């Protein structure tokens, strides 16, 4: 069952700064569907329109056009109703430095209409569920990044929303906190919450999300499960780096481009990335051919397609190298 | 009903936050206190000059200081908001069903309370130094301070929501507050000023406020500046609040 369905959603800004006066089409008419109970990832580089989309879906920003139904309510017609069904955690977080985590949870619950007793009980529930007890009664300005992020997420959860929007939840976290947060997010899913998150980390999208939409310059270029997206590139990825001799890259490109097992090739600096039919058979042939042309190979490796390869193919540029 | 509950919750939270950093409350008082201790005594010899208002140096000077705290204290409330925007707190409040007006009012009324506390401290310092003040007059002055606080805090929040950066906010505020302060006659009465300055001051609400407070302090309720000042400040406070509310509604995107 679809819990979010979006059609033609768009938003343009007047640009500030250098290109002042122009119009930036931050989100250019996107369609997407999120199923109930899944972790849906929005993958794209900074400035692709991820946050803008999330702000529109969480009622903070009014769309210029399009249609969105969230948890059964029309976003444009009834933003206030949508607001009760969703939780939103911005990139910045939300915990107030001059309050304790518990006070913040309590306030947030009260603002969602819970009575004093209910708010207190709900705060305790969240403190247990997200393991906040060791620090929740300290001022949140003293928290570590990981602790703060947990409280931020708890704040988005006080009213038991059907959908939780998380904008770049793991940006700036150390690897341990990041792994913990992934587990927390999976727990939310097993509790029936639909999670919609944005990320620019491919490994995160790959490991955590049930389905992904890839967004670049305000447009969705692909939407599928991570495995499905990777399957769309059939074959293996052969990466090689050639020695920095004059024309080595140029010679390699010309030597390899017409081979029948090479499906795609892209070049960045001294590195070539090829999509080949059978990696194991391709390696010796490639090495032999390049040797014959006097090109030294510094490094060669074979891998299964990654989301970055999908991204590269869909957008023409690599996300990992930004 | 929801509105009042939300407002109360948000107001208490803001006041708590401020009381936890009382150092700011008192830093804002440092400069006016210095003026009171080191500058006001210089005025004591001027009482006999023609055009110098009645009531002695402190009844003339203290009302000006109250306006000064509002212009150089409350007007900087927006800095706190920029901080809260950056920490995601404002967005977090905006996604709740709480009314936007309740959220804004929670912040603004906190600033009004802080301003009133600071005003009381200034009066408390001035009293032993020789200020004598009419109690009903002081109460009306405080009512004007509520309007002034609402005006300055609202403008500051509207600017903070538009500019979103401390440095640009600081330069805008300084540029606006300094002439307003100088043209309100806080150090010396505008009755001593040349005509050109007096006519400039005649469109400055704070000039009326200072003049009105001086009359109120000596219990002269007949001064027309009181009525003009209150109406002027109340209308501006309302406009400023609407401005801030609109900037708030446009969001923090």
If DSSP states are collapsed to H, E and C, what string results for chain A?
CEEEEEEEEEEEEECCHHHCCCEEEEEEEEEEEEECCCEEEEECCCCCCHHHHHHHHCCCCCCCEEEEEECCEECCCCHHHHHHHEEEEECCECCCCCCEHHHHHHHHHHHCCCCHHHHHHHHHHHHHHCCCCCCCCCEHHHCCHHHHHHHHHHHHHCCCCCEEEECCCCCCCCHHHHHHHHHHHHHHHHCCCEEEEEECCHHHHHHHCCEEEEEECCEEEEEECHHHHHHCCCCEEEEEEECCCCCHHHHHHHHHCCCCCEEEEEEECCEEEEEECCHHHHHHHHHHHHHHCCCCEEEEEEECCCHHHHHHHHHCCCCCCC
Determine the pLDDT at residue B55.
72
Q: Could you tell me the residue range of the domain that residue A147 belongs to? A: 2-15+23-230
In this predicted structure, the answer to whether residue B14 has a pLDDT above a threshold of 80 is yes
pLDDT one-digit tens code per residue, B186-237: 877 787 888 888 888 889 999 999 999 999 999 999 999 999 999 999 999 9
A236 to chain B nearest CA, in Å?
42
Higher pLDDT pick, A264 / A158:
A158
Could you give the percent of chain B with pLDDT greater than 90?
54
Q: Is B40 helix (H, G, I), strand (E, B) or coil?
A: helix
Q: In angstroms, what CA-CA distances link A172 with A50, A166, A185, A201?
A: 17, 14, 17, 11
Please report the residues numbered 158 through 177 in chain A whose beta carbons come closer than 8 angstroms to any beta carbon of chain B: none
Interface of chain B toward chain A, CB-CB under 8 angstroms: 2, 5-6, 9-10, 13, 16-17, 20-21, 84-89, 91-98, 251-253
Residues A263 and A283 placed together within one structural domain of the fold: yes
Task: Kindly report the average pLDDT of chain A as a whole number.
Answer: 89
In this predicted structure, the answer to whether residue A15 has a pLDDT above a threshold of 80 is no
Do the Cβ atoms of B96 and A86 come within 8 Å? no
Q: Is residue A141 assigned to a domain?
A: yes
Mean pLDDT over A129-153 rounds to 93
CATH number, domain containing residue A173: 3.40.50.300
Mean pLDDT over B96-102 rounds to 90
Do the Cβ atoms of B88 and A92 come within 8 Å? yes
Give dist(CA B194, CA B125) in Å, integer. Answer: 32
When CB atoms are compared, the residue of B2, B89, B97 closest to A94 is: B89
Q: Which of A27-31, B20-24, B43-47, B61-65 has the lowest mean pLDDT?
A: B43-47
Do the Cβ atoms of B96 and A87 come within 8 Å? no
Q: Is residue A321 assigned to a domain?
A: no
Q: Is residue A243 assigned to a domain?
A: yes
pLDDT one-digit tens code per residue, B154-183: 999 999 999 888 899 999 998 998 889 889
- CB contacts of B114 in chain A (<8 Å) are none
- Domain range annotation of chain B: 2-249
Mean pLDDT over A30-43 rounds to 94
Q: Is residue A318 assigned to a domain?
A: no
Give dist(CA B12, CA B4) in Å, integer. Answer: 12
Do the Cβ atoms of B84 and A58 come within 8 Å? no
pLDDT one-digit tens code per residue, A48-69: 899 999 999 999 888 999 999 9
Confidence of residue A47 (pLDDT cuts 50, 70, 90): confident
Mean pLDDT over A73-85 rounds to 92
Residues A195 and A58 placed together within one structural domain of the fold: yes
Do the Cβ atoms of B91 and A90 come within 8 Å? yes
Residues 6+ apart with CB under 8 A from A31: A6, A7, A8, A9, A220
| A100–chain B Cβ distance below 8 A for any pair | no
| A65–chain B Cβ distance below 8 A for any pair | no
Give the residue from chain B lying closest to A140, CA to CA. Answer: B87
Determine the pLDDT at residue B253.
46
Do the Cβ atoms of A99 and B13 come within 8 Å? yes
Residues A120 and A189 placed together within one structural domain of the fold: yes
Residues A256 and A189 placed together within one structural domain of the fold: no
Mean pLDDT over A9-22 rounds to 75
Higher pLDDT pick, A320 / B151:
B151
When CB atoms are compared, the residue of B16, B92, B253 closest to A94 is: B92
Give dist(CA B211, CA B137) in Å, integer. Answer: 13
When CB atoms are compared, the residue of A52, A98, A111 closest to B6 is: A111
Confidence of residue A308 (pLDDT cuts 50, 70, 90): confident
Dihedral sign, Cα of residue A276, residue A277, residue A280, residue A286: negative
Do the Cβ atoms of B13 and A94 come within 8 Å? no
Residues A177 and A69 placed together within one structural domain of the fold: yes
Give the residue from chain B lying closest to A156, CA to CA. Answer: B92
Do the Cβ atoms of B6 and A88 come within 8 Å? no
In this predicted structure, the answer to whether residue A20 has a pLDDT above a threshold of 70 is no
- CB contacts of A84 in chain B (<8 Å) are 97
Determine the pLDDT at residue A167.
94
Instruction: Give me the DSSP letters along B112-149.
Output: HHHHHHHHHHHHHHHHHHT----HHHHHHHHHHHHHHH
When CB atoms are compared, the residue of B10, B16, B91 closest to A94 is: B91
Q: Is residue A313 assigned to a domain?
A: no
User: What is the reported pTM?
Assistant: 0.83
| A2–chain B Cβ distance below 8 A for any pair | no
What's the Rg (C-alpha) of chain B?
Answer: 19
Best of B92, B98, B105, B162 to mutate (most A CBs within 10 Å, chain A): B92
Give the residue from chain B lying closest to A95, CA to CA. Answer: B89
Residues A95 and A202 placed together within one structural domain of the fold: yes
Determine the pLDDT at residue B186.
81
Confidence of residue A21 (pLDDT cuts 50, 70, 90): low
In this predicted structure, the answer to whether residue A322 has a pLDDT above a threshold of 60 is no
When CB atoms are compared, the residue of B9, B89, B95 closest to A83 is: B95
- CB contacts of A55 in chain B (<8 Å) are 251, 253
φ/ψ of A17, rounded to 5, equals 75, -135
Last residue of a domain, one of A186, A205, A230: A230
Best of B11, B25, B87, B165 to mutate (most A CBs within 10 Å, chain A): B87
Q: Provide the number of structural domains found in chain A.
A: 2
When CB atoms are compared, the residue of A92, A103, A155 closest to B86 is: A92
CATH number, domain containing residue A246: 3.30.70.920
- CB contacts of B85 in chain A (<8 Å) are 92
In this predicted structure, the answer to whether residue B239 has a pLDDT above a threshold of 50 is yes
């Amino acid at each position: 069952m679809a819990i979010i369905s979006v059609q033609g959603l768009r938003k343009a800004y007047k640009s500030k700064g250098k290109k002042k006066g122009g119009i930036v089409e931050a989100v250019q008419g996107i369609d997407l569907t999120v199923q109930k109970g899944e972790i849906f990832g929005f993958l794209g580089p900074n400035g692709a329109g991820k946050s803008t989309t999330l702000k529109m879906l969480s009622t903070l920003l009014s769309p210029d056009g399009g249609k969105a139904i969230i948890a059964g309510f029309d976003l444009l017609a009834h933003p206030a109703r949508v607001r009760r069904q969703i939780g939103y955690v911005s990139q910045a977080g939300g915990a107030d430095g001059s309050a304790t985590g518990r006070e913040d949870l309590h306030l947030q619950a009260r603002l969602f209409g819970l009575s004093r007793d209910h708010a207190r009980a709900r705060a305790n529930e969240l403190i247990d569920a997200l393991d906040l007890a060791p620090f929740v009664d300290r001022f949140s300005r003293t928290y570590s990044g990981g602790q703060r992020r947990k409280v931020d997420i708890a704040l988005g959860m006080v009213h038991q929303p059907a959908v939780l929007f998380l904008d770049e939840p793991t940006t700036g976290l150390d690897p341990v906190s990041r792994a913990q947060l992934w587990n927390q997010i999976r727990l939310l899913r097993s509790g029936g919450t639909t999670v919609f998150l944005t990320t620019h980390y491919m490994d995160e999208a790959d490991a955590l999300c049930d389905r992904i939409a890839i967004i670049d310059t305000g447009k969705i270029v692909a939407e599928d499960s991570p495995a499905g997206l990777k399957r769309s590139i059939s074959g293996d990825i052969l990466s090689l780096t050639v020695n920095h001799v004059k024309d080595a890259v140029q010679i390699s490109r010309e030597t390899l481009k017409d081979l029948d097992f090479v499906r795609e090739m892209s070049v960045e600096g001294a590195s070539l990335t090829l999509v080949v039919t059978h990696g194991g058979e391709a390696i010796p042939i490639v090495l032999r051919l390049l040797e014959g042309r006097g090109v030294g190979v510094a490094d060669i490796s074979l891998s299964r397609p990654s989301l970055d390869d999908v991204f590269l193919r869909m957008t023409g540029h690599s996300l990992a190298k930004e | 009903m929801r509105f009042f509950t939300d407002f109360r919750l948000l107001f208490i939270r803001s006041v708590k936050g401020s009381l936890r950093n009382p150092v700011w409350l008192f830093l804002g008082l440092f400069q006016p206190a210095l003026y009171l201790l080191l500058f006001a005594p210089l005025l004591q010899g001027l009482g006999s000059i023609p055009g110098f208002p009645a009531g002695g140096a402190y009844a003339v000077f203290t009302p000006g200081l109250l306006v000064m705290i509002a212009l150089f204290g409350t007007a900087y409330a927006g800095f706190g908001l920029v901080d809260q925007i950056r920490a995601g707190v404002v967005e977090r409040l905006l996604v709740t069903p709480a009314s936007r007006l309740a959220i804004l009012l929670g912040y603004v009324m906190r600033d009004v309370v802080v301003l009133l506390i600071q005003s009381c401290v200034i009066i408390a310092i001035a009293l032993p130094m020789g200020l004598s003040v009419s109690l009903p007059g002081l109460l009306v002055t405080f009512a004007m301070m509520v309007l002034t606080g609402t005006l300055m805090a609202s403008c500051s929040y509207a600017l903070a929501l538009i500019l979103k950066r401390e440095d640009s906010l600081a330069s805008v505020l300084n540029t606006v507050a300094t002439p307003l302060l100088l043209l309100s006659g806080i150090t010396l009465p505008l009755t001593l000023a040349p005509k050109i300055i007096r006519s400039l001051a005649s469109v400055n609400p704070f000039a009326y406020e200072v003049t009105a407070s001086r009359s109120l302090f000596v219990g002269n309720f007949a001064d027309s500046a009181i009525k003009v000042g209150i109406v002027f400040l109340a209308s501006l406070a309302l406009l400023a609040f609407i401005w801030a509310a609109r900037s708030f509604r446009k969001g923090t995107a």
